[in-house]
Structure 1
Amino acid sequence: MNGGMMSTVTQRIRQVLRQVRGPATSDAVFEATALIVGAAFLLVGFLGALPVFWGRELSISGTGSIGMFAAYGGAIAAALAFALGRLAVRVPEPDPTRARDGFAVPGDRLRWYDLAAIAFAHAAIAYLGWLGIAQLLEQSFVDAPVFAFPGAILVAVAFALTGYVAFLSAVALTPTVLSLVLAVFLVVGAFAAMLASSDVHWWRDNLSALGMSSNSASVAFNVTLIIAGIMVTTISRYATAGLPVDDPVDRRGRTIVRGGLILMGIFLACVGIFPVDEFFGLHNTVATGMVVVFAVVVVGLPWFVRSIPRVFVGLGWTYVLVIVLLGAFFAVGYYNLTAVELIAAVLIFSWIIVFLRTAGTMGGHAPRADALTAPDAVVR
């Protein structure tokens, strides 16, 4: 009886996985597969944590704690689940007339380095997120011990939830999802660097002080900027893929906007590659260059993309004016450089996210390669 039930379950799992690999993939099948992936990580997490925790009283956070175990394992689970999700939507023989990866037009797709950066962002969010949750729980349950069995269950649930979310993020990767991942990654990475900084008064200098080689948070801060820069270059292709290219003027304008966004991503990555204490001139050049490129793209947007909504143009110009005003406040000593950099960063990245959504409404969307061939198709 048990053997027959196991055989039935195994056949069902194989059937679901085969259906995911096919072109007629539905959201229900993705959801079912995500649950299977989550269940697998739940089992792996429990079986891996229980022998390690057995016979010990564990702390919630800190070295050797369940929080640390969940953070490291969650990062691995996020990366693996993301890779599984991308394999699930991979089309062996893609149709050149269909759009892929949420692009507005066919013929473009995410490259391996794009996916590697996005996978790393998922892993970093999981790692830093579980560390933060553990620290919060540690402060809520002061000196509370955690025994082996419940600790293993908690770790297993963390693995399962991480794998489930990362898998669904991978199979439903769209410009909106990617912009959300970028925003969360930047916030989590920046706050992690601030909390881990060996200089508690880093803010008296500037934001780049977090990336100085003498600061214990330099690796976290600089890697965050590098990965975020790669993701911005990916977003630039997403954001401009659906812009109108009906005549040479529109095509040239789209090329300028795309090139500007890519250049911003490169400059952002270079800010992390060249710490301010080791490459002062180069660091300041790329940091300033990113702001200048942003201003050029925003101010020239109504000429580069003539069909862009004027409301969005006004929003961008307002952002530029605010950044200029902040620069003036810094010049007269009213604001310090950290405040200017933080507000400017928030404005720039929020503009990119809104531009991504605005540009997506301007072009026609080709059918997705992983969409159902018929609206009433049913997975049996």
Structure 2
Amino acid sequence: MKNYRVEVPKVARDQLEIKDGEPLAMWVEGNQLVIRPLRLADSLPQIKLRWYFGPALVLTLLFYADMINQGYHLLPLVGGDSVASASLYLATLSGLLAFASTFISQKRHHRGRAQEFSWRAMISIMVACGTITAFSLVAGAWLVGSLFHGAVFDIYTAGALIFLVIAMVTYIMINLAMTISPGVITNLMTFMIIGGVFFSMLTNSNKDWWRHNFSFLGTANSSNSWQFNITLIFSAMLMLTLIDYLFVNLSKKYPGWRVQVTRWLLNLMAACLGGVGLFPNDPRFHLLHDRIAMWMVYTMLILVVVVRWTMPMMTKTFLTLSYVIGGVLAVSYIAFKFVRYLSLTAFEMLAFGIAFSWILLLFQLIEAVVQRDVRLFTVELVAEENDEVSH
């Protein structure tokens, strides 16, 4: 049997800080051969207990002090002054501070994935993460409140529950800051858009909103319009952050104006997405809202057409899929505008779903190109004549 020796380039060893003679782990993952240091702890975020239990304990003690000062002995599970509201405010605050401090520490000490992002990305990522955290806690409180209607706790039990929520959210935000990546941002953006829109649908007091239009969720006639609008605005911020990261790295491999055309068209799409949330479909903004929404559709169609020339790394499969998606979008517009087959709600939801799906596919393809160009190193498999495995 012939064995092989893997020769790893020095630049890869230096980046991983591998010492001479240090054992490496290697395994097959799908169609990939993965090699990393045998130190298992180095592959996982090192989050110390005090980093998330400390803030949780301090904020819980402040909660106890405030409750005792106001003379509270019992606290409802949900409502104005409740376990849910206290958890929402304190956990979101703790999570944001934990994310910011971890991100800054990673950047200053040049370690972790955060160093790959610019300083200007921190604010938009942090705000988006805080918004997702708040939405998740609100949704969780709504679900738990429905299941345990009328539940009431003494302040010490309530404090214990709040402590657990704060510690959990703080841990998640620290972990997120340590493992932030383009894929994570894409997932955050996806979760925020889909989760925010569906939550706005579920909690809307007007169950016939769909008879008006999709944008009705963001109007003053909708009971939770702020949730829908904030979802779009902060999703646009995440999209701009992702575009900035991907195209800064992509431009190193493909310099020139063509790639920048795609970048600015994507920025325009993100601005339109945020504009739809910033200018809801109320009477005073109706015309502007409709035009911004249509600009987003037009920009999408332009991108589908020009991406063949502006992005030289595009695959034939992606281009074919792009033309199919563009064709479906154009047909749906004709079916709505001229044939009147589709209602306004159906067209808006279909166009939004198609455009968002295509954008995600484009981001995934660009991310794969960036990762391939930045992170892959050339290695050699050298055949050995003996039967002993060489390390």
Counterpart Cα distance in 2 of 1:66 and 1:354: 41
2:57 matches 1:43: yes
Matches within 5 A, 1:75-224: 75-91=92-108, 101=114, 109-112=117-120, 114-224=121-231
- SS of alignment partner, residue 33 of structure 1: coil
Q: CA deviation at 1:239?
A: 3.1
Structure 1's 362 and 31: CA in aligned 2 closer, same or farther, altered over 3 A? closer
Q: Which residue of 2 aligns with 1:4?
A: none
Cα-to-partner distance string for 1:128-176 (whole Å, 9 max, x where unaligned): 2112112212222233332322221111111111111112212222111
Residues 186 and 228 of structure 1 are in contact (CA less than 8 Å); yes or no, is this contact kept in structure 2? yes
- SS of alignment partner, residue 146 of structure 1: strand
Q: Which amino acid aligns with 2:77?
A: I
Q: Which residue of 2 aligns with 1:58?
A: 75
Residues 229 and 265 of structure 1 are in contact (CA less than 8 Å); yes or no, is this contact kept in structure 2? yes
Q: CA deviation at 1:282?
A: 1.7
Structure 1's 336 and 73: CA in aligned 2 closer, same or farther, altered over 3 A? farther
* Higher gyration radius (CA): 2
Matches within 5 A, 1:3-82: 28=42, 31-33=45-47, 35-52=49-66, 56-82=73-99
Counterpart Cα distance in 2 of 1:75 and 1:188: 18
Counterpart Cα distance in 2 of 1:310 and 1:239: 21
Residues 106 and 112 of structure 2 are in contact (CA less than 8 Å); yes or no, is this contact kept in structure 1? no
Q: Which amino acid aligns with 1:186?
A: I
Residues 106 and 115 of structure 2 are in contact (CA less than 8 Å); yes or no, is this contact kept in structure 1? no
Q: Which of 277, 285, 307 is 1:279 aligned to?
A: 285
Q: CA deviation at 1:359?
A: 1.2
Residues 42 and 159 of structure 1 are in contact (CA less than 8 Å); yes or no, is this contact kept in structure 2? yes
> Between Structure 1 and Structure 2, how many residues are aligned?
333
Q: CA deviation at 1:365?
A: 4.4
Q: Which residue of 1 aligns with 2:366?
A: 359
Indicate the larger mover: 212-221 or 238-247: 238-247
Structure 1's 245 and 347: CA in aligned 2 closer, same or farther, altered over 3 A? same
Q: Which amino acid aligns with 2:128?
A: A
Q: Which of 251, 270, 275 is 2:275 aligned to?
A: 270
Q: Which amino acid aligns with 2:247?
A: T
Structure 1's 318 and 214: CA in aligned 2 closer, same or farther, altered over 3 A? same
Structure 1's 48 and 251: CA in aligned 2 closer, same or farther, altered over 3 A? same
Structure 1's 289 and 141: CA in aligned 2 closer, same or farther, altered over 3 A? same
Q: Which residue of 1 aligns with 2:389?
A: none
Matches within 5 A, 1:332-351: 332-351=339-358
2:243 matches 1:236: yes
Residues 46 and 156 of structure 1 are in contact (CA less than 8 Å); yes or no, is this contact kept in structure 2? yes
Q: Which amino acid aligns with 1:320?
A: G
Structure 1's 166 and 335: CA in aligned 2 closer, same or farther, altered over 3 A? same
Q: CA deviation at 1:102?
A: 7.0
Cα-to-partner distance string for 1:47-81 (whole Å, 9 max, x where unaligned): 23334556533322222221121112222122111
Q: CA deviation at 1:314?
A: 2.3
Residues 112 and 179 of structure 2 are in contact (CA less than 8 Å); yes or no, is this contact kept in structure 1? no
Q: CA deviation at 1:251?
A: 2.3
Unpaired segments ≥5 residues, structure 1: 1-22, 104-108, 369-380
Cα-to-partner distance string for 1:257-280 (whole Å, 9 max, x where unaligned): 111111111111222222222122
Counterpart Cα distance in 1 of 2:169 and 2:83: 15
TM-score of the two chains, using structure 2 as the length reference: 0.75
Unpaired segments ≥5 residues, structure 2: 1-15, 18-38, 377-391
Q: Which amino acid aligns with 2:217?
A: L
Identity score, percent = 25
